[in-house]
Amino acid sequence: MDQISDHSKIEREPLNEPTRRRTWRTPVIGAVTVIAALLLYFGLAPRSGNKAAAVPTPAPQVTVSAPLQREVDTRVGFLGQFSAIDRVELRAQVGGTLTEIHFKDGQVVHKGELLFVIDPRPYEIRLEQAKAALQTAAARVELANAQLTRAQSLRRNEFATQETVDQRTSDQDSTKAAVEDARARIRDAELDLEYCRVRAPFTGRIGARQISIGSLVAGSRAATSPTTLLATLVSLDPLYLDFDMSESDFLTFSRERARVGGPLANKVVIGLSDENSFGREGTLDFIDNALDRSSGTIHARATVPNPDLFLAPGQFARLRVAIAPPTPVYLLPDAAVMLDQSQRLVMTVGPDATVKPKIVTTGDLRGGLRVIQSGLAPTDRVIIDGLVRAIPGAKVAPLDGAIHYDTAADEQG
């Protein structure tokens, strides 16, 4: 039994030795593999072979173009508000009871149309009384004439004194004056009777009525006492467009008007708040005689036709005023102009394909392009696309482009 056991041990020992060696080598090989992978990942392991030659970075491509040359006028935009040329408060000039209303609130009424009626009967009575007083005065004139004629006849026959004649002459003059007074009272009564019917003094849009039928109206032609407001009426065609001009714009405008001469008649173009274009026109026909010291502006006004009665007083509108005639300028896409603190600059490409910045002075937008007033030459090649890839002093690969003037955008402002 012992011999058999010893023999079995001898035969198992050669099999166990290689197994122990493999078990010891396995973790070592795994650790080496991980370290090598980390070195390769972080670039610390030596690379086999020769080093590759460095590939040069190509110059970035940009689109360049010479500035577009065009003649444009110098104009300034403002915000204005429409106002009625004529506006009146319809108030009663005679007192009484309101008996009729002949319009609807907000209706367009024409000059001379009947709007309100105040009870005319009291004034008809006054007119009849005045007419009766005139007849009485006329009868007294006839009597005075007859008495004067008899007194003069008696004076010629020396049956009456001169004093009697003078008295009859005075009576005649008094009765004639009474006739004139009666006629004046008739005209006064007729005027009161006319004021019982309130008519539109001009064509326009009437507001809401401020009184109802049956209400007692207080009125006075002399306006020495409070009168009743009946309604308001505003004219619609044409309208005023009021706006304020800054002092610098006013100086530019005044110098140009002094150079050109002639009366103040300048076209303005107008666009409403919901319109993208300036489709309406007006005439600048008034500038105030003094600047407002608090705001540094001067009031100006344009007259705007309104034949379709679409515009209403109180509406706001944008307007553009040409303050100088057309002059040659350069135009660039607005995206080509950069803002550097308080300066504006553009990037140009020189003959050696090097980017060079240039400081420019800009104006407003015309045809979708920015007006460049100074700082550019007609031969400059300005970067109009790819500006983010242009670094001052760096080389670029310029491609020729074109700048287009958008007439539709110019009409839209």
Span 381-407, pLDDT tens digits: 999 898 888 888 888 888 888 888 877
Label residue 224 by pLDDT band (50, 70, 90): low
The matching CATH number, chosen from 3.40.50.300, 1.10.1740.10, 2.60.40.10, 2.40.420.20, for 63-70+328-412 is 2.40.420.20
Cβ atoms 86, 375 nearer than 8 A? no
What kind and span of H or E run contains 32? helix 2-42
Q: What is the pLDDT of residue 228?
A: 87
pLDDT surpassing 80 at residue 111 = yes
Span 15-69, pLDDT tens digits: 444 444 444 444 444 444 444 443 444 444 444 444 455 567 788 888 999 998 8
Average pLDDT, stretch 327-350?
A: 87
The matching CATH number, chosen from 3.20.20.70, 2.40.30.10, 3.30.9.10, 2.40.30.170, for 76-84+237-325 is 2.40.30.170
Question: In 102-143, at which residue ranges do the beta strands (DSSP E only) sit?
Answer: 108-109, 114-118
Span 242-255, pLDDT tens digits: 999 888 888 878 88
Cross-sheet strand order for the sheet of 204-206: 87-91, 229-234, 204-206, 108-109
- Choose the weakest-confidence range: 36-40, 193-197, 285-289, 306-310: 36-40
Would you tell me how many other CB atoms lie within 10 Å of the CB of residue 12? Answer: 9
Q: Is the dihedral of CA 165, 166, 167, 173 positive or negative?
A: positive
- Label residues 25-50 b or e (16+ Cβ within 10 Å = b): eeeeeeeeeeeeeeeeeeeeeeeeee
The matching CATH number, chosen from 2.50.20.10, 1.10.645.10, 3.30.420.40, 2.40.50.100, for 94-234 is 2.40.50.100
Label residue 159 by pLDDT band (50, 70, 90): low
Residue 49: φ, ψ to 5°: 90, 180
CA 223 to chain centroid, in Å, comes to: 38
In 3D space, the residue among 233, 240, 209 whose CA is nearest the CA of residue 311 turns out to be 240
pLDDT surpassing 50 at residue 85 = yes
This prediction's pTM:
0.62
How far apart CA 250 and CA 265 sit, in angstroms, is 15
Q: What is the pLDDT of residue 316?
A: 93
In 3D space, the residue among 398, 400, 385 whose CA is nearest the CA of residue 60 turns out to be 398
How far apart CA 196 and CA 208 sit, in angstroms, is 20
- Choose the weakest-confidence range: 18-27, 96-105, 106-115: 18-27
Q: Which long-range contacts (CB under 8 A, 24 or more apart) does 284-289 make?
A: 284/321, 287/245, 287/250
Q: What is the pLDDT of residue 160?
A: 63
Q: Is the dihedral of CA 32, 35, 40, 41 positive or negative?
A: positive
How far apart CA 71 and CA 231 sit, in angstroms, is 52
How far apart CA 189 and CA 126 sit, in angstroms, is 6
pLDDT surpassing 60 at residue 155 = yes
